[in-house]
Each structure stands twice: as structure tokens, then as C-alpha cells.
Chain A
Amino acid sequence: MATEVLMPALSPTMEEGTLAKWLVKEGDKVKSGQILAEIETDKATMEFEAVDEGTVGRLLVAEGTANVKVNTPIAVMIEDGEGADAAPAAAPVVAAAAAPSAAPAAASAAAPVAVVSKASPDWAPGTPMKTMTVREALREAMAEEMRANPNVFLMGEEVGEYQGAYKISQGLLDEFGPKRVIDTPITEIGFTGIAVGAAWGGLNPIVEFMTFNFAMQAIDHIINSAAKTNYMSGGQVPCPIVFRGANGAAARVGAQHSQDYAAWYAAIPGLRVVMPYSASDAKGLLKQAIRDPNPVVFLENEILYGQTFDVPDLPDFTIPFGKARVWREGTDVTIVSFGIGMKYALEAADLLAKDGISAEVIDLRTLRPIDYDTVLASVQKTNRCVTVEEGFPVGSIGDHMASTIMQRAFDYLDAPVVTCTGKDVPMPYAANLEKHALVTTAEVVAAVKSVCYR
């Protein structure tokens, strides 16, 4: 049967090209893979090969012809014994199916709708409590989950024999042995890739980054390998893994060791992102993270490791993702924060109360998913909002929250949302400069007063 040879697309962007030269003539017998013509694309001159063996029946486009549209018939191939007349009349073939209609818009301005807060107590009234540091809470969370599931293991630099660079994993090697508490060489991209592969293979790795600054060496595996594969595989290959470690500024360690990555990771679909402030959240959210079938970026803070909080004394205590915590109820302004930003937010609320300003303080706790409803319900009550975080100002979580509030609660606002962030500078070493580079309690107080017009 005669078949048409169509003008090929020879690059991802080619729509038309020049048929520079024919290397065969009518009547020639050709073999599969033989070069038929040279075609100039938008990028280069390419050789165009025969797909099947056969005889060149007719050449439909003369060499030297420019602007030949992709899929235009350029020649007719015939099989042995057929005449050239067997060729069907040339008719352009329509290329790939039509473009799909536009996806639903992500957001649209809508009439104001009262939103209901999702916040609720994390434990029942009367639950016995114990006091522990964030460090102890994280360790207890890992130990409990490792006892419950033999496929959970911890891997990272100095997590075993050294007992953890920040002592989070202290004692775990003794209890679980070297196969489940694995010291790695200093090789972030390598061990992160290995851990992601292990998760695909059915295990539940916890990867400790000594700090998230070093995870930049491994961020390709966190994003391209861990976060995207469930989607790229049509749901066949989930990645149950936790990436955890200290994030953000410690003290006097300079620009390369003091970055808050919250907004970076929160931007990535496929990841869960958690950034706890208190010990109870550290414990309940880390246990939840280890059980989650998705990759979780769990951002801790070195300064918070040693701080003490009440934690419910329960055998199995978890906190679901996507549920903010209202730390302090108030009526005049909503302060939204997470992680160590909560320290400034709560200090500011205390100071503001002395000035007669009642601040509601919300800890987002998880940045992906984000509990928008609890924030919006609060803003609909207070009509004012200030966000607090330690990260850089451009593309911050505060920016995202401000735009969400503007789109979903514009009519409730009595003042623009103000974002308090770290300064737009690399972290300096000098003590006085470092203090100014970070967000401060005084800045939060000033921001609240500005939105209250006080």
C-alpha cells in the first residue's frame, strides 16, 4: 500500500522548515534507516530517515522549498509492484489532538464568605502532661515510631556513634542498632538519593540533615526525585520519607549556616512541609510525618531544641497536618507565625496587651498544607493581620498569606497586611548586625501598632 511521507517535526518547537535537499529520486528503492532528505529546522539541518523499506513513488515538495509546515506530505512511498499512481491524493494531516480547554482558574475574587476556623484542642481536657524539651520530644517521636514499624530507620551524619550533632538521636543507636541508625559519610546528595530509593523500595527512611543549609547539596533529590515521582508515575511510586534537621539561624554562624528554607520547600507540590515551635507539636507532628506516605520536609530550629514545653503524656499522640494552633485568643489583630517566629509573636502579644491591644496569635505549624481557614476566620474577627517569620522577605510565607487574605477576606480588612521577616541581606557574623538582620519582637510590636493605627 502506498504511504505518504510527511514533513517531520525534528525539534520540540518546530512548526515548519525548509526541505533543503532530496537525497533520493523517484523510483529509488530505499531501506529502513536510509537518509531521504536534509531538512532545516529552527535549530539545525537534520537528516531525515526512511522508516520502512520501499520505493520512492513521488516527491511532492521540491528541494529548496521553505516554510513547509510539519505534517505536509512531502513524498509517497510505494511497495514493490505498485505504481506511483497508487499514491493517494496529498492531503495535509492534522497533527496531535487539539489543545485541552483551559484548566479551572486557581482563584477568583469572590463575595466575602465567613470562614470557620479549623483549630481545635490537640488533646482532651484533663490529659496528663509532662515537661520536655523540643530535643527530647523529637527523639521520643522517632523512638516510638521505630519501635512500632521495623521499616523506619534513621540515616545521616553523626546520628549514631556520635549520638547526633545536636543530640537529637542520643541513645537511638543503643536501642536500635547500626542497621537502623546509620552513620553516613559527609555526602548529602548521595545519601539523600539512596534514602529516596530506599523509600521507593518500601522502607520509611528518616534523613537527618545536620542542618538544612547542607540540604542544598541534596535539594535535587528532595524536589526532583522525592516530591515529583508519585505524580510522574501516575500514582505508582509514592515516597514515604522524612527529611528533618535544624533550619534557620542559630547564633553567630554566619551567612552559609543561617538560612530559613520554609518558603522554598513550601512552594513545591508533592512535599509536606512542617515547622513546629513547641515540644508537643514537634512530637505529634514528627510522628505524623513518619507515618505519612509522602515526602515530608520537617524544619527544626537549633535555638528551640533546648526549650521546654508541656507535652501530653499519652502512649500514641499525633497531630494532623493542615491544622493551625491558636496560642492566644484576641480581638484587635491576628499575628500569624510558625517555627521560631512564634517566639517573637508571643513576646509581642505580651507587650501589646500592656498597651491595651488584644492580639490573637496563630501558629501555622504546617506550611504545606496550610490551614488558611483558621487564619481567615481570625482575620474576619480582628480585621487586621501581621505575619512573622525569620526567612527572607521576597516570596515569603507572609507574602503568600497576605495575598490569600487579600483575595479571600478583602472586605474584612481595616488595614493592609504587614509582613515581618528577616532582612534582605545574607546573615552577618557581627553580633550587633546579626541581631538586626533577624526579625525582632520590637518590629512585630511596631507592625501591629501600625495596622491598628496606634
Chain B
Amino acid sequence: MAAKKAPEKSNVSKDELLKYYREMLLIRRFEEKAGQLYGMGLIGGFCHLYIGQEAVVVGLEACTKDGDKRITSYRDHGHMLACGMAANGVMAELTGRAGGYSKGKGGSMHMFSKERHFYGGHGIVAAQVPLGAGLAFSDWYKGNDNVTFAYFGDGAANQGQVYEAYNMAELWGLPVVFVIENNQYAMGTSMKRATKSVTLYGRGTAYGIPGEQVDGMDVLAVKAAGEKAVEHCRSGQGPYILEMMTYRYRGHSMSDPAKYRTREEVEKIKQEKDCIEHVRDLLTQGGLSSEDELKAIDKEIKEIVNASAEFAKESPEPDLSELWTDIYA
């Protein structure tokens, strides 16, 4: 990734930039709070934080319309917040409480919102790729112009079922954007230790699927690429691949000491490429927003996140009778 450039004057409106700033900041502060609650023992099991990657989902959500669907991996909190799910319900699911999106029965990796067309939250690496193609199949079958976003990581990209899904998605012309969030580490294995492929989007060529690599730390670049991909899918031309070059600041999960990369590497990205700082600079150095205006947003986000933590602590544990519900529809 290139060194930090002086922010160019963007053609994007102040309102749009503020929207991205707010949405990315919400994810970051939410995830920091989740990490804190995990440390207090209020969140159990596995908890995978999205910090660093916020621009990917915020930029792509800006390309969606009503009825579009999304599905992702276990690193899913950011996707839920970005598609409009309530911070309270997400946080309460993390603490395993009745007020969570899955009534406390799914947890960090297994959350859904039919209302927001969010189909999880999947703990089996790459399972969401054919599942996402299937969601797109349902729209293709019904003949509407909705699109599905199927997010997966560079690790999942080496699973065979990804390529089975690519093949059928292109064969049948399914409206699915395959979004590879290439954060460069599959748990502790760097991409160069897992594949000789130079790019991951390039593998779509074998199936006839167009794609491109995108600076996933730049929300405006993400949005621009997303619009192109969505137009391709909505117009009935089949799937599209976006390889988002991004970076996670935290470990793979809460218990990962991240010894497979240097602190300098992480610090360099934080200093030079941080997606939130990027938009902050565009707003302040472009003269669009004052520090006070942004501080007010920071405060507002902090209140939303703190309220979600309170809700997640106070929401009761699920009633024991819930053990036996929802097994069958």
C-alpha cells in the first residue's frame, strides 16, 4: 500500500462524507466496546473484530437498494451495523441475551436479520459463497433486479466451493457480487504462504467473471468500484468479483496474539492508510467540517455504543424454554 498522500479535494459532498465517517466510526467504536466486554467476560467464545476494514462494507452498502441481500463470514459485526441493524440487538446477541437478533442462540458468528436482508454470519469458512449465490438465484428466479453481496476473506478464497459457486453463478448469470475482503492474513497464514496467485480477483477469469482489485481502505474507491459491480449484476450480466485490499488491526480473534506480523507493519497501515482518518482529513483539510462538528459526531457515536453495551448487559438471558424453540419452522 502506498504511503499516505495529502488528501485531494474530493468531488463528494460533505453530507456523503459525513455519512461514511459516521458509519465507519460506529463500527470501530462498537468493535472496541465488544473487545472490552469480551475482556470482562460478558462476551464468550469466539469474537472476531472488524477494526481496520470498515471502509469495505460502508462503501459497498452505499451502492445497495431495498431488497438487496448480504451474507458474510464470522467477522460480521460491521456488516450488520452497516446494513442498518440496530447496535443494541447486535451487542445483546454478543452477550447471549434475549434482546439479541437471534435471541441469544446464535452468538457473534451467527446473526441474521430477515428485515434487513442480512443472511449471516457463517462460521464455516467459505460456506457463505455458494449460499450467497443461492440468495442471488432466488432473485434471478423471481425475475427482479436485486443483487446479493457475498463477502469472504482471502483465506476462504482457497476453498473449493468458492469456485463451484463461481462456475454456476456465471453459467446461470446470477446477480451476485463476490466481495473478497483481502486483509492479507488467513488467521495466521499470510496470503503468500497460502497461494502462488498474485491476485485473487484474477481467478474469476477462469470462469469468465470480470473483477478488479480495489483499495479497500478508501471508502470512495470502494463505492466507485461497488457501483460498477452492482450495475453489471442488476443489468443481468451475471456475477462480478471485487478484491478489496484491506487490513485488520486486531488479531484474528480475541485470543490471537498476532505474532505472525510485526507491530511496525500494523502501525504503518494505521498511520498511513486508516479509512476513518482518510475521510476525517477530507472533511477537515478540505474545509468542509470543523473539528467541533466531528467531535460532536464522535460523542453521538460513543453514546450509541455505550447504550448498546448497557442494553446488552441488562437484557435478560434467554428463558430456558428457548432451548427447545426454533428447531423447526
Interface residues of A (CB under 8 A from B): 6, 8-12, 14, 32-33, 41, 43-49, 51, 70-71, 93, 95-97, 100-101, 103, 151, 153, 179, 184-185, 187, 189-203, 220-221, 224-225, 229-240, 269-270, 272, 293-294
Contacts and interface: CB of A to CB of B under 8 A. Distances in A.
A193 B129 contact: yes
B102 A233 contact: yes
B112 interface: yes
Interface string B34-70: 0110111110111000000000000000000000010
Pairs A-B, 8 closest by C-beta atoms: A197-B134, A201-B138, A190-B164, A193-B130, A8-B39, A238-B329, A11-B255, A233-B112
Contact of B105 (A95, A192, A231): A231
Contact of B106 (A187, A232, A238): A232
A10 to B, nearest CB: 6
A51 B32 contact: yes
B311 to A, nearest CB: 15
Contact of B327 (A153, A236, A270): A270
B288 interface: no
Nearest to B36: A51
Interface stretch (B178-186, B237-245, B318-326): B318-326
Main secondary structure of the interface of B (DSSP, over half): loop
Given A229-B112, A234-B101, A193 B33 contact: no
B23 interface: no
Nearest to B322: A234
A51 B134 contact: no
Interface in B60-115: 69, 71, 95, 100-106, 110-114
B130 A190 contact: yes
Given A51-B36, A224-B124, A234-B106, A270 B130 contact: no
B28 to A, nearest CB: 9
Interface stretch (B1-9, B165-173, B223-231): B165-173
B134 A196 contact: yes
Contacts of A230: 326-329
A186 B266 CA distance: 43
Q: Determine the interface band of chain B, counting residues with CB < 8 A from chain A.
A: 35 or more
Contacts of B131: 193-194, 196-197, 200, 221, 225
A153 B102 contact: no
B168 A190 contact: yes
Contacts, number: 208
B42 A96 contact: yes
Contacts of A12: 44-46, 254-255
B34 to A, nearest CB: 11
Given A197-B133, A225-B127, A189 B160 contact: yes
B328 A97 contact: no
A28 B133 CA distance: 52
A239 B114 CA distance: 13
B110 A100 contact: no
B139 A236 contact: no
B286 interface: no
Interface of B: 32-33, 35-36, 38-42, 44-46, 69, 71, 95, 100-106, 110-114, 119-124, 127, 129-139, 141-142, 160-161, 164-165, 167-168, 171, 249, 251, 254-257, 259, 317, 320, 323, 325-329
Contacts of A70: 40-41
B326 A234 contact: yes
Nearest to A45: B257
A198 B69 CA distance: 12
Contacts of A236: 101-102, 112-114
Given A195-B134, A197-B133, A197-B135, A9 B326 contact: no
A194 B134 contact: yes
Contact of A103 (B168, B171, B323): B323
Contacts of B135: 197-198, 200-201
A232 B120 CA distance: 9
A46 to B, nearest CB: 5
A280 B181 CA distance: 51
A194 B136 CA distance: 9
B138 A202 contact: yes
B158 to A, nearest CB: 14
A192 B161 CA distance: 10
A199 B317 CA distance: 31
Given A71-B41, A191-B168, A203-B137, 13 more contacts: A46-B255, A95-B40, A151-B141, A190-B164, A193-B133, A193-B161, A194-B168, A232-B106, A232-B121, A233-B101, A234-B101, A234-B326, A235-B326
A182 to B, nearest CB: 8
Contacts of A200: 119, 131, 134-135, 138
B320 A103 contact: yes
Nearest to A203: B138
A141 B42 CA distance: 51
A107 B323 CA distance: 16
7 contacts: A8-B40, A12-B45, A32-B32, A48-B39, A189-B130, A190-B161, A221-B131
Contacts of B44: 12, 96
Given A203-B138, A232-B110, A46 B327 contact: no
A209 B212 CA distance: 35
Contacts of A187: 164, 167-168
A436 B259 CA distance: 57
A187 B172 CA distance: 14
A229 B329 CA distance: 10
A223 to B, nearest CB: 10
A8 B38 contact: yes
B255 A294 contact: no
Given A96-B44, A233-B112, A185 B327 contact: no
A226 B291 CA distance: 49
A235 B329 contact: yes
Nearest to A97: B317
A237 B328 CA distance: 10
Contacts of A6: 39-40
A229 B255 CA distance: 26
A195 B39 CA distance: 39
Contacts of B102: 232-234, 236
Contacts of A96: 41-42, 44, 95
A198 B137 contact: yes
Nearest to A240: B329
B80 to A, nearest CB: 12
B44 to A, nearest CB: 6
A10 B38 CA distance: 8
